[in-house]
Amino acid sequence: MKLYTSHRAPNPRRVRWVLAEKGVEDVELVELDIMVGEHRTAEYRAKVGVPHVPALELADGTTISESVAICRYLESVYPEPNLFGRDAAEQAVIEMWTRRCEFYLANPIMLNVRHSHPALAALEATQLPQVAEYNRLSAEKFMKTLDRRLADHEFIAADRFTIADVVAVVGLDFARLIKYRPPEEFTHLARWLDAGRARPAAKAGV
pLDDT attached to residue 122: 65
pLDDT attached to residue 121: 67
pLDDT attached to residue 126: 82
* Whether the predicted model's global pTM rises above the 0.85 cut: yes
pLDDT attached to residue 171: 96
Which domains does the chain show, CATH number per domain? Answer: 2-77 (3.40.30.10), 88-203 (1.20.1050.10)
Cβ-contact 27, 51 below 8 angstroms: no
The one-digit pLDDT tens for each residue of the chain (206 residues) are 999 999 989 999 999 999 999 999 999 999 999 989 999 999 999 999 999 999 999 999 999 999 999 999 999 999 999 999 999 999 999 999 999 999 999 999 999 998 888 767 666 668 788 999 999 999 999 999 999 999 999 999 999 999 999 999 999 999 998 999 999 999 999 999 999 999 999 998 66
CA 175 to chain centre: 12
